[in-house]
Chains A and B, each alone.
Chain A
Amino acid sequence: MVELKIRQPVPGEEIPDPAAIPALVPGAMAHSRPYLASPEHQEAIGFPGELVDDWKERAIGKLGELVANSRALRVYLDTCVKCGACTDKCHYFLGTGDPKNMPVARQDLLRKVYRRYFTFAGKYFPWLVGAEDLTEEVLDEWYSYFHQCSQCRRCSVYCPYGIDTAEVSMAAREIMDSVGKGQKYCNEIIGKVMKFGNNLGLQEKAHRATLEDLEEDIEDETGVAVRLPLDEKGADILLVTPSADFFAEPHIDGLIGYAKVFHHVGASWTISSYASEAANFGMFIGSQDNMRELMLRIRKAAEDLGVKRIIFGECGHAWRAAYNFLDTLAGPFDFLDRRYPVPQHICEYTYDLIQKGALNFDKSLNDDIRLTFHDSCNVSRASRMGDKPGGQYEIPRAILRAVCNHFYDMPADTIREATFCCGGGGGLLTDDLLELRIKGAQPRMRAMQQVAQDHGVTHIAAICAICKTQFAKVMPEYGFEMDDVVSVHQMVSNAILLDGQNTGGEEDDEDGEDGAERAVSGG
Chain B
Amino acid sequence: MLTSLYAVLFYGATMVLVAGIAYRVWQYSTTPAPLKIPTTPAPLTRGGVAVRLAREVVLFESLFKANKWIWLFGWVFHAGLLLVLMRHLRYFTEPVWGWVVLMQPAGLYASFAMVAGLLGLWARRIFVPRIRYISAPSDHLMLALLIAIGVSGLAMRYVARTDIVAVKAFFLGLIYFDWQPLPADPVLLIHLTLVVALMVIFPVSKLLHGPGLFFSPSRNQPDDARERRHVAPSLTTPLRAEAGAKR
Residues of A within 8 A of B (CB): 21, 23-24, 44-46, 67-72, 74-76, 78-89, 99, 102, 104-105, 108, 119-121, 125, 127-130, 153, 156-164, 167, 194, 288, 292-293, 296-297, 299-300, 323-325, 327-332, 341-343, 380-384, 389-390, 392, 417
Contacts and interface: CB of A to CB of B under 8 A. Distances in A.
22 contacts: A70-B32, A76-B216, A78-B212, A79-B206, A79-B212, A79-B213, A82-B206, A83-B70, A84-B128, A87-B131, A102-B133, A121-B205, A129-B136, A157-B62, A158-B65, A161-B209, A162-B62, A288-B35, A293-B243, A328-B235, A331-B229, A380-B40
Contacts of A161: 209, 212-213, 216, 219
Contacts of B133: 24, 99, 102, 105
Contact of B243 (A129, A160, A299): A299
A315 to B, nearest CB: 17
Contacts of B205: 121, 129
B209 to A, nearest CB: 5
B113 to A, nearest CB: 18
A161 B230 CA distance: 22
Contact of A81 (B34, B41, B209): B209
B201 to A, nearest CB: 9
Contacts of B137: 127-130
A130 B137 CA distance: 8
Interface in B114-135: 121, 124-125, 128-131, 133-135
B22 to A, nearest CB: 15
Given A324-B37, A328-B232, A384-B223, 20 more contacts: A23-B129, A67-B31, A69-B32, A71-B217, A75-B215, A75-B217, A82-B131, A82-B134, A84-B124, A128-B138, A157-B65, A296-B240, A324-B225, A324-B230, A328-B229, A330-B239, A341-B226, A342-B226, A382-B37, A389-B41
B59 to A, nearest CB: 11
A384 B213 CA distance: 23
Interface in B202-220: 204-206, 208-209, 212-213, 215-219
> Which of B28, B60, B219 lies at the interface centre, i.e. has the most chain A CB atoms within 10 A of its CB?
B219
B168 to A, nearest CB: 33
A143 to B, nearest CB: 21
Given A78-B212, A88-B130, A130 B240 contact: no
A108 B213 contact: no
B107 interface: no
Contacts of A342: 226
Contacts of B125: 84
Nearest to B57: A160
Contacts of B159: none
B203 to A, nearest CB: 9
A71 B247 contact: no
A121 B138 contact: yes
Given A162-B39, A328-B231, A105 B134 contact: yes
A84 B65 contact: no
A151 B215 CA distance: 21
B28 A75 contact: yes
B44 interface: yes
A296 B244 contact: yes
Contacts of B65: 157-158
A77 B2 CA distance: 40
Contacts of A130: 136-138
Nearest to B33: A71
Contact of A384 (B40, B217, B235, B240): B40
Contacts of B219: 161-162
B206 A323 contact: no
Given A70-B32, A70-B34, A329 B235 contact: yes
A384 B234 CA distance: 25
A389 B223 contact: yes
Contacts of A160: 56, 60, 62-63, 66, 74, 213
Contacts of A44: 247
B83 to A, nearest CB: 20
Q: Which residue of B40, B42, B134, B246 has the most chain A CB atoms within 10 A of its CB atom? A: B40
